[in-house]
C-alpha cells in the first residue's frame, strides 16, 4: 500500500534464488491491493508464529451451486482486516487452457475489481484459481464471469472440473480428441458438477497418449489415456537419419525399451508390436521416425487419488481399449453405472479407488456389469498390455498345476 511498506524478513527469504517467487508477486500486487498487502502481513506472522492463521469456512458459495468456492477466514481479523475473508474461487478453464489475451485481461479486471488480484494459473485441479475475496463479492463476481462466458468449477463431493492435455490442438501423438471429450464431459455432467451428490469428489482427466501430460494416472478417479492397438508407425528413412546424425539407437532406444521388444541391426529397427507396452519411450526419443499406430483410442483406468484420508493410489485398468468418438455413449453408460453403485454404497469421503479396495475389484466389476479380464492388473507399473499367452503355452503341455517359478 502506498506510503507504508511492510517489513517481511521471513518472506524475503523466499525471494532469494533463481526461481520465480510468489512473495515477489504478492508484493507487486500489494502496492495497489490492500488484500494482497494484509496477506503479506498475515503470512509473515505465520512464519514467525510457525502456525497457519487461516480458518476453513464451509458455507460460502453462489446461489444454487454447491461447488466452486472454497471458504477461508483469517483468525487474526483485527490485525489483518483486509483478509478477514479470503475465499478462493475455482473457475472452469477452457479445455486445453487456450485463451485469447483479451479474455485474460477481462478475467483479471474482474478479479482486481472484486478480489485480491492474485491468481493461480492454473491450479492442480485444472481450474483457473482466483485467490482471496469476501463473501459479499461472490455473487457480483459470478455475474461478471458468466457474462464473459465463464462458469465456476467443481469443489466438494461433486464432479470436479474435467481437465486434459492440449491433445490434437497441438500434439501429433494424441490418440483421441482430449479437448472434445473434456468439453463434452463438462457439459454432460453440469448437474453433477454444480450439485454435489456423491460420497466424495470425482475427477476425470484426459491425456491423449501414455506420456500422460496431465498426470491423469495419479490424479483422477477416472483416467482416460490415449493408446493404440496396431503397430508403431516407423519411417525407415528417418531412423537412418537419426543413426547417421550420431544417435546411439542401441543404447538410447532399444536397450531402454521396458518390454525388450525392439531390435536394431545397425540399419533397421524391428519392433515386436504384440509385446510393446505402449510406454512411448522409443517414440519420445525418435519423434521424427516413430509414431503411435493408426488404430487409436484410449485406455480407461480407475481409482487414483492423492493421500488425503488414506494413502495415495494410482489408477488401474478398467477398459483396456475403447474408441472415443461422439456421442461417447459407451463411456457415459459406464460412468453412470459406476456413479450409481458408488453413490449407493460408498461411505462419506470415500473415493472410488478406496471403495474398490474395500469391496474388492471382483465385486465392483460385478456391480457395474464389466467382465474381469487379464489386463486389469493390480499395479499400473505392470502394464495393462502384458499378455500371458506364452506363459500359458508353457504350462499347458505340462500339468494343470501352476508351477511356482
Give me the 51-70 binding string for ligand HEM, x by CB under 6 A, dash otherwise: -x-x---------------x
Write out the binding residues for ligand SF4, residues 280-299 only, by CB under 6 A.
Answer: 280-282
Measured distance between the N- and C-terminal CA atoms of the chain, rounded to whole angstroms: 72
Write out the binding residues for another protein, residues 104-163 only, by CB under 8 A.
Answer: 135, 155-158
Nearer to ligand SF4, 279 or 332 (CB): 279
DSSP string computed for 17-72? SSS--HHHHHHHHHTT-HHHHHHHHHHHHHHHHTS--EEEE-S---TT-SSSEEEE
Q: Is 256 in the site for another protein (CB under 8 A)?
A: no
Q: Is 88 in the site for ligand HEM (CB under 6 A)?
A: yes
Q: Is 208 in the site for ligand SF4 (CB under 6 A)?
A: yes
The alpha carbon torsion through 111, 116, 117, 123 (nearest 10 deg) reads -90
DSSP string computed for 74-97? ES-TTT-GGGSB--EEEE-PPGGG
Q: Please report where in the chains the cell 505392470 appears, as a residue.
A: 382
Q: Is 238 in the site for another protein (CB under 8 A)?
A: no
**All 3 cell numbers of residue 151?**
462458469
Q: Which of 36, 91, 185, 209 binds ligand SF4 (CB under 6 A)?
A: 209
Half-sphere exposure in the Cβ direction for 229 (13 Å, CA): 9
Q: Is 331 in the site for ligand HEM (CB under 6 A)?
A: no
Q: Which residue is nearest to ligand SF4 (CB)?
A: 208
Dihedrals φ, ψ of 264, to 5°? -140, 125
CB of 303 to ligand SF4, least distance (A): 20
Nearer to another protein, 80 or 228 (CB): 80
Q: Is 263 in the site for ligand HEM (CB under 6 A)?
A: no
Q: Which of 65, 111, 173, 198 binds ligand SF4 (CB under 6 A)?
A: 173
CB of 373 to ligand SF4, least distance (A): 20
Distance CA 147, CA 43 (A): 34
**All 3 cell numbers of residue 128?**
483457473
Which residues of this chain interact with another protein, rule CB under 8 A?
55-61, 63-67, 70-71, 73-74, 77, 84-85, 135, 155-158, 195-200, 343-344, 348-349
Amino acid at each position: 500500500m502506498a506510503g507504508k511498506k511492510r517489513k517481511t524478513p521471513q518472506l524475503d527469504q523466499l525471494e532469494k534464488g533463481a526461481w520465480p517467487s510468489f512473495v515477489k508477486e504478492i508484493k507487486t500486487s500489494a502496492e495497489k491491493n490492500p488484500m494482497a498487502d494484509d496477506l503479506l502481513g498475515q503470512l509473515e506472522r505465520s512464519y514467525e508464529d510457525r502456525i497457519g492463521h487461516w480458518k476453513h469456512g464451509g458455507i460460502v458459495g453462489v446461489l444454487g451451486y454447491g461447488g466452486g468456492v472454497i471458504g477461508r477466514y483469517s483468525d487474526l481479523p483485527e490485525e489483518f482486516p483486509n483478509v478477514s475473508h479470503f475465499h478462493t474461487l475455482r473457475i472452469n478453464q477452457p479445455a486445453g487452457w487456450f485463451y485469447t489475451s483479451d479474455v485474460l485481461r477481462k478475467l483479471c479486471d474482474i478479479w482486481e475489481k472484486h478480489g485480491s488480484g492474485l491468481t493461480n494459473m492454473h491450479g492442480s485441479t485444472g481450474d483457473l484459481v482466483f485467490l482471496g475475496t469476501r463473501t459479499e463479492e461472490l455473487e457480483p463476481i459470478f455475474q461478471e464471469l458468466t457474462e464473459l462466458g465463464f462458469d465456476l468449477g467443481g469443489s466438494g463431493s461433486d464432479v470436479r472440473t474435467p481437465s486434459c492435455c492440449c491433445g490434437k490442438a497441438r500434439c501429433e501423438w494424441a490418440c483421441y480428441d482430449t479437448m472434445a471429450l473434456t468439453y463434452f464431459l463438462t457439459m454432460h455432467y453440469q448437474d453433477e458438477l454444480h450439485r454435489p451428490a456423491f460420497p466424495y469428489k470425482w475427477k476425470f482427466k484426459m491425456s491423449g497418449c501414455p506420456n500422460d501430460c496431465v498426470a491423469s494416472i495419479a490424479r483422477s478417479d477416472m483416467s482416460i489415456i490415449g493408446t493404440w492397438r496396431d503397430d508403431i508407425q516407423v519411417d525407415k528413412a528417418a531412423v537412418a537419419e537419426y543413426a547417421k546424425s550420431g544417435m546411439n539407437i542401441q543404447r538410447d532406444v532399444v536397450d531402454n525399451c521396458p518390454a525388450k521388444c525392439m531390435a536394431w541391426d545397425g540399419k533397421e529397427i524391428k519392433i515386436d508390436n504384440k509385446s510393446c507396452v505402449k510406454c512411448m519411450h522409443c517414440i519420445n526419443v525418435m519423434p521424427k521416425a516413430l509414431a503411435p499406430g493408426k488404430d487409436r483410442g484410449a485406455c480407461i483406468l480407475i481409482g487414483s487419488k492423492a493421500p488425503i484420508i488414506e494413502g495415495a493410489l494410482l489408477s488401474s485398468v478398467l477398459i483396456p481399449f475403447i474408441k472415443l468418438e461422439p456421442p461417447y455413449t459407451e463411456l457415459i453408460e459406464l460412468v453412470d453405472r459406476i456413479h450409481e453403485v458408488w453413490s449407493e454404497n460408498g461411505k462419506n469421503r470415500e473415493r472410488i479407488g478406496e471403495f474398490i479396495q474395500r469391496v474388492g475389484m471382483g465385486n465392483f466389476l460385478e456391480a457395474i456389469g464389466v467382465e474381469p479380464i487379464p489386463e486389469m492388473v493390480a499395479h499400473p507399473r505392470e502394464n495393462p498390455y502384458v499378455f500371458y499367452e506364452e506363459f500359458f503355452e508353457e504350462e499347458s503341455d505340462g500339468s494343470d498345476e501352476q508351477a511356482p517359478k
